[in-house]
């Protein structure tokens, strides 16, 4: 049993905002993983480790094969599944992935050692807020899959390290449907996340320097394209 994630898993992932029969259809009808990716996906589901759901897996395959990004940044490594998925579908890319959970880092290191065949992936250990600031490179693609309340905190520094024309994908932004409710109807323990996500939407969805859209896959994706070098964000 993977203790640190099974106890604190994102329970919103088990409250899909799409009808169950449609979710089942998307997960069963789309191409399934094979080989080590299938093995890692099955392990994560069994151990309640919150990796991306299969409809997002299928979308990321298409996204990576279409965009073919050269440099990818991922915040939230977990066992390394999504980094390995991106590496397989963008074989020319270099990926920097960040996590601070020691148990997950141990799993990720083992998986990268076994399955990162082209040595594409660099794992950085520690707090993302500190590590992002110290990065000295620009990225074509950023995948955010960490603490949802921190997305808005990371956004200014992420944008500084994103190339013009580059894209950010934020995962799990519908908060199990809570995001459409008045804050008074949201459980108190979820309100910090709620406020952070609302600020993220305010900063991105109607920003003239960005193109952004929401996708109803799994618990929701926010996709953001950087259109100009300097992006003004609300205080």
Binding-site residues from annotation: 52, 82, 99, 127-128, 145
* Residue 169, phi then psi, degrees to nearest 5: -120, 120
CB 155 within 8 A of CB 148: no
Q: How distant, in Å, are the alpha carbons of 3, 85, 97, 104, 132 from that of 123?
A: 21, 15, 5, 11, 13
- Beta carbons within 8 Å of 50's beta carbon, 6+ residues apart: 5, 9, 10, 13, 44, 78
Q: Record the tokens describing residue 95, joined without a space.
A: 């990926």
CB 16 within 8 A of CB 177: no
Where is the binding site for S-adenosyl-L-methionine, in residues?
52, 82, 99, 127-128, 145
What radius of gyration do the chain's Cα atoms show?
Answer: 17
CB atoms within 10 A of CB 59: 19
- The 3-state DSSP class for residue 73 equals strand
- Beta carbons within 8 Å of 17's beta carbon, 6+ residues apart: 174, 176, 177, 216, 219, 220
- Beta carbons within 8 Å of 182's beta carbon, 6+ residues apart: none
């Amino acid at each position: 049993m993977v203790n640190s994630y099974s106890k604190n898993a994102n329970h919103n992932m088990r409250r899909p905002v799409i009808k169950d029969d449609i979710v089942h259809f998307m997960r069963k009808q789309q191409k399934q993983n094979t080989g080590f990716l299938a093995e890692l996906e099955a392990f994560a589901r069994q151990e309640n480790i919150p990796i991306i759901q299969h409809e997002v897996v299928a979308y990321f395959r298409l996204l990576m094969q279409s965009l073919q990004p050269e440099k990818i940044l991922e915040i939230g490594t977990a066992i390394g599944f999504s980094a390995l998925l991106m590496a397989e579908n963008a074989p020319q890319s270099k990926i920097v992935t960040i996590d601070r959970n020691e148990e997950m880092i141990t799993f990720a290191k083992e998986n990268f050692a076994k399955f990162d065949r082209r040595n594409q992936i660099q794992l950085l250990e520690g707090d993302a807020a500190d590590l992002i600031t110290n990065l000295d490179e620009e990225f074509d693609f950023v995948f955010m899959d960490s603490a949802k309340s921190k997305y808005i905190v990371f956004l200014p520094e992420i944008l500084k390290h994103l190339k013009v024309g580059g894209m950010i994908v934020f995962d799990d932004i519908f908060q199990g449907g809570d995001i459409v409710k008045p804050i008074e109807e949201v459980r108190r323990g979820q309100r910090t996340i709620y406020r952070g996500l609302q600020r993220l939407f305010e900063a991105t969805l109607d920003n003239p320097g960005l193109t952004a859209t929401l996708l109803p896959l799994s618990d929701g994706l926010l996709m953001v394209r950087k259109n100009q070098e300097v992006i003004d964000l609300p205080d």
